[in-house]
Amino acid sequence: MKIAFKLAFKNLIGAGLRTWLNVAVLAFCFIVIVFYNGFLNGWQNQGRQDAMDWEYGHGQLLHANYNPYDVFSIQNGHGNLSAEKTEDLSAVLVRQASVYPKGRMNPVLLKGISIDQKVIKLPIKLLAQSDVEFPVLIGKRMAETLKVKAGDQVLLRWRDKNGTYDAANITVEAIFESKVATIDNGQIWLGLDKLREMTGLTNEASYFIAHEAYQPTAIAGWEFQALSTLLKDFDAAVQAERIASVIIYSVLLALGLLAVFDTQVLSIFRRQKEIGTYIALGMTRNQVLKIFTIEGSMYSIFGGIAGIILGAPLFFYTLSQGINVGSEIEGMGVQFADVIYPTFGLTLLAGTFVILVFTATLVSFLPARKISKLNPVYALKGRIS
Amino acid sequence: MKYIIAIFFTIIFALQLSAQDATEILEKVDDNMNSETSITKSDMIIYGRRNSRTVTSVGYAEGKNKSFSEYLAPAREKGTKMLKLEDNLWIYSPSTDRTIQLSGHMLKQSVMGSDLSYEDMMENRKLTEMYDSEVIGEELIDGRNTWVLQLTAKVVDASYESRKIWVDTERYVPLREELFAKSGQLLKKTELKEVKKIDGRWYPTKMNYKDMLKDGKGTDFVVLEIEFDTEIPAYIFSKAALKK
């Protein structure tokens, strides 16, 4: 085995440019696979963390009639819970309303959350310092939609619990910036007590956000959704992207492996006398087969090592600076931060390396199988039967 | 002392009279504006930012609880039908050949992009059932003398907490109406014009509905033809009529 490796190594180094071209192609494949997977991992980790920090906390307890994806459920999707059941929970009340910036009607969701809450990063406590009657907090995206800035007043129309219209000027106290668009687009945040007072829905909530210490128990009329359930759609979106990326890698890897395969075929054809000599000197056909297969797989080992060395500056740079994907892709419907910090774990590097070596060994072995059927006499004469 | 008592009783009497008068006026308005049945052909002119469009429809109504309307023009809306029975509203769309029932938040949507919402069409109760009223003054509108009635909700589920109605003192036809939020903010305004005597009753044939919070000229509703107390076949007010 040791001889096989030594011979394979010497042969590869001796082959010169042909070897380095193969290594370069495989190194490129390695870098692309590692980089893109690292990007997807980073996107998923960041997205999950942001969703936890800004929207879901450690799970949500939803009123049985409330479905965040169904606007028709908002009207009746609320209820109240006794104080002992809401320990380690922060209530959110959701109502529908319309705002009229400069005479344009925009339907909005009014969301009331306690000004003292600490479960999500929403800076709702800024409203506590306000001395206006209806201070509200909106996100950057919503501010752009409404074309308003901090300090602006907008007319809001809503209905109370009996369906009677009410209207008042609200003041945009502050504009927050979050990577989570689902707490921003089309939403106006205000103090929970204020919204309850406006609508007459005393002690009512549409859902509760769970703190870390919350222990879910079965509560009639309410349904707890764990973080994994809440993030199901996001994870599915990332997974779909992974599946799409596998197709791209496969094509790329196939091109790289085709180069190795070609080299092997050519190598066996041109080195028939060498193969015959090996067998004539006493090597079994399988030993010769091993030498050629190891040669092929060594392309991938060199490719992997070269990939790590050449890719390291790129990996380290993106780890520290992130990848700016811009805000243009926000409308794609999935959660994207402006800057994604990729995650290159040892599993990713080792996994990609193993795939590369395994596939390269396989495509090296396939043409080399011919050696096992080789007649040494013909081989010495330079003829493959 | 006698004077004070006399003034006191005069004020009380005047207030009672005013309340009673306002209720009577409202009842007469309700009687005048509502009929057993009606068949109306009308144009709804919806003013947009740049242009306007006209939707023609024919509507059948029986009391306040049953109504059926079919859109005749433009081509895009032609064949769309709407049926209201009590608190239920169904819409049939010929393009999809489907009937859907509107409920909840869907009722808050605008009718064909106008300033009217489906919900505005769903109110079945008479004004006298929902509001306490009083006459707060008299005004001249387009040369017609009107009473100004202040209506305050006496039921908790009225869409508008208060209303102001200008009623023609001779014809008992409202010429203007303003709808207010709980905070007193003016939300909607209706102007009723071109009052004509039709089948023995005075009826406005041009109305303008305006959402006061939005920019624009609002929506005009022009009555082209109207018949009162004509017999309407019962099948018109059935879901089967939507697909006919």
Nearest residue of chain B to residue A96 (CA atoms): B105
Q: Is B187 on the interface with A (CB under 8 A)?
A: yes
How far is B49 from B37, CA to CA, in rounded Å? 36
Number of domains present in the structure of chain B: 2
Does residue B188 sit in the same domain as residue B87?
A: no
A37, A35, A30, A31: which is closest to A238 by C-alpha? A37
Does residue B139 sit in the same domain as residue B206?
A: yes
**Does residue A246 register a pLDDT over 80?**
yes
Does residue B111 sit in the same domain as residue B132?
A: no
Does residue B142 sit in the same domain as residue B199?
A: yes
Report the percent of chain A where pLDDT is more than 70: 95
Average pLDDT over residues B13-36: 72
Mean pLDDT across chain A? 87
Q: Which residues pair with B207 in a beta bridge?
A: B192, B221
Report the percent of chain B where pLDDT is more than 70: 90
How far is B229 from B232, CA to CA, in rounded Å? 9
A18-29: pLDDT as tens digits: 788 888 888 898
CATH of the domain at B168: 2.50.20.10
Residue with tokens 């003054």: B137
Write the single-letter amino acid at B229: D
Which residues in chain A are contacts of B185 at CB distance < 8 A?
155, 157, 166-168
What is the ipTM score, two decimals? 0.81
Does residue B105 sit in the same domain as residue B136?
A: no
Does residue B182 sit in the same domain as residue B155?
A: yes
Report which secondary-structure segment, H or E, holds A167.
strand A165-176
**Does residue A336 register a pLDDT over 70?**
no
Nearest residue of chain A to residue B157 (CA atoms): A162
A1, A129, A34: which is closest to A355 by C-alpha? A34
Q: Decide if B199 is inside a domain.
A: yes
Q: How much is the pLDDT for A333?
A: 53
Question: Is the Cβ pair A167, B181 closer than 8 Å?
Answer: yes
B142-186: pLDDT as tens digits: 999 999 999 999 999 888 999 999 999 999 999 999 999 999 999
Does residue B136 sit in the same domain as residue B195?
A: yes
Which residues in chain B are contacts of A74 at CB distance < 8 A?
105
Between B32-36, B112-116, B223-227, the lowest mean confidence (pLDDT) is in B112-116
B192-206: pLDDT as tens digits: 999 999 888 899 999
Does residue B206 sit in the same domain as residue B97?
A: no
Model confidence at B8, pLDDT cuts 50, 70, 90, reads very low
Which residues constitute the domain of residue B85? 37-42+49-115+230-243
Q: Decide if B54 is inside a domain.
A: yes
Q: Which two tokens stand for residue A367?
A: 């043409």
Q: How much is the pLDDT for B12?
A: 45
Listed in sequence order, the DSSP H helices in A52-147 are 140-146
A91-109: pLDDT as tens digits: 999 999 999 998 888 889 9
B114 or A157: whose pLDDT is higher? Answer: A157
Q: Decide if B221 is inside a domain.
A: no
Q: Decide if B219 is inside a domain.
A: no
Does residue B23 sit in the same domain as residue B135?
A: yes
Model confidence at A335, pLDDT cuts 50, 70, 90, reads low
How far is B113 from B107, CA to CA, in rounded Å? 13
Q: Decide if B156 is inside a domain.
A: yes
| DSSP characters over B58-79 | EEEEETTTEEEEEEEESTTTTT
| DSSP characters over B110-136 | BSTTSS-BHHHHH--S-HHHHEEEEEE
Q: How much is the pLDDT for A334?
A: 57
Question: Is the pTM above the cut of 0.90?
Answer: no
Q: Decide if B223 is inside a domain.
A: no
Report the residue from B104, B153, B216 with minimal CB separation from A75: B104
Q: Which residues pair with B223 in a beta bridge?
A: B42
Report which secondary-structure segment, H or E, holds A177.
none
A294, A167, A333: which is closest to B179 by C-alpha? A167
Q: Which two tokens stand for residue A285?
A: 């056909």
SS3 of residue B218 by DSSP? coil
**Does residue B243 register a pLDDT over 90?**
no
Q: How much is the pLDDT for A337?
A: 67
Does residue B158 sit in the same domain as residue B236?
A: no
A176, A196, A203, A197: which is closest to A187 by C-alpha? A176
Mean pLDDT across chain B? 85
Which residues in chain A are contacts of B103 at CB distance < 8 A?
72
Question: Is the Cβ pair A164, B156 closer than 8 Å?
Answer: yes
B52-77: pLDDT as tens digits: 889 999 999 988 788 999 999 898 88
Q: Decide if B218 is inside a domain.
A: no
How far is B80 from A103, CA to CA, in rounded Å? 30
How far is A23 from A132, CA to CA, in rounded Å? 68
Does residue B139 sit in the same domain as residue B166?
A: yes
Q: How much is the pLDDT for B105?
A: 63
A74, A166, A170: best mutation site toward chain B, by most B Cβ within 10 Å?
Answer: A166
Does residue B193 sit in the same domain as residue B142?
A: yes
Q: Is B159 on the interface with A (CB under 8 A)?
A: yes
Q: Decide if B94 is inside a domain.
A: yes
A283-315: pLDDT as tens digits: 887 788 888 888 888 888 888 899 889 988 988
A63-89: pLDDT as tens digits: 999 998 888 788 889 999 888 888 899
Q: Which two tokens stand for residue A206?
A: 């549409």
Which residues in chain B are contacts of A166 at CB distance < 8 A?
161, 181-183, 185
**Does residue A368 register a pLDDT over 80?**
no
**Does residue B15 register a pLDDT over 70?**
no
Write the single-letter amino acid at B105: H
Contact A239, A122 (CB under 8 A): no
